[in-house]
Amino acid sequence: MRIPYETMVSEFKRVLLKYGFDEARAQDAAEIFAQNSLAGVYSHGLNRFPRVVAYLQKGLIDPKAEATCELSFGAFERWNGHRGFGPLNARAAMDRAVELAKQFGIGLVALGNNNHWMRGGSYGWQAADQGCIGICWSNTCPNMPAWGGVDPRLGNNPLVLAIPRSNGEHVVIDCAISQFSYGKLETCRLNGQSLPVPGGYDTQGNLTADPAQIEQTRRMLPMGYWKGSGISIALDLIATVLTNGNPVHTIGTFEDEVGLTQIMIAIDPGKANSPELTDEIVDGIIADVKSSIPEKEGGQVYYPGENALRNRKENLELGIPAAEEKWNQVLAM
């Protein structure tokens, strides 16, 4: 089934208003969820919405709390999210990082004690839309074993890199440090699909492409094997040092995945390049990548973010694909 974008926004807003969001924040939050699905990231749009409502019901998210700055030193600031609605806090933090970048050339906001930011790529697109390179990441609860281990000790801490283009066709990569995110596992399971390549281990300790088996064992495969394991550890270390917030192992002691730690970095290439020069550099690299010989006849190679642009256009025209089970949950709220 497909749902019109405005209908999805309206239903999300209706529910959020019942759980303590004021009019403006309910509208902004509803648009964040709907835009995630619009871009094809259903795992952090419609599919994630019922879980967020459950957190609101349990009082784990304060719908009125806004992040505040606790320390400022030049281009660096430390913020406290007060366990408010994660995406709105993260968006405010990235906007501030961009302001700092416009002043100093680079800006960094370290956001601690926040909640789940939903789709991390949103903040990369946000920075790029303002002409900045965006770099951001979040830690998570322990949901992936360290390389050589079997029990979850690491977060699959999502990392985002965004490079702006003046035509709005930015290059944005948004990836969990695991081979697949848990949201991707859920999406594949709901659609009755296997993963395209093995993404973790089954109950017998064998590599598998069955998303349900991996969800059961929680033995996610780090991307790049030991390399992904090391990157996950480093991201958690840097984020926790800069925020003095919660590391992955502390988040694992909470009842649910709350109190996360996030980093927002913006860099203004306009301090060194004209927009035309930046476009020339980016366009040249992307053109070379796009000229690759396809693996399959009639296929093509995509740059990071290209599919999101295509999905937005298609889903605005035809409606957003929705898992009937999830949509009915929202309608019943």
CB 55 within 8 A of CB 326: no
Cα→Cα distances 277→92, 155, 268, Å: 29, 38, 13
Helix (H, G, I), strand (E, B) or coil at 312: helix
Q: Provide CB contacts within 8 A for 240, sequence distance 6+.
A: 139, 246, 247, 261
165: its two tokens? 């283009």
Cα→Cα distances 188→42, 180, 182, 250, 253, Å: 11, 11, 10, 30, 29
Q: Provide CB contacts within 8 A for 146, sequence distance 6+.
A: 153, 154, 229, 233
44 is catalytic: yes
228: its two tokens? 């992904």
Catalytic residue among 44, 82, 116, 249: 44
Query: Active-site residues: which are they?
Result: 44
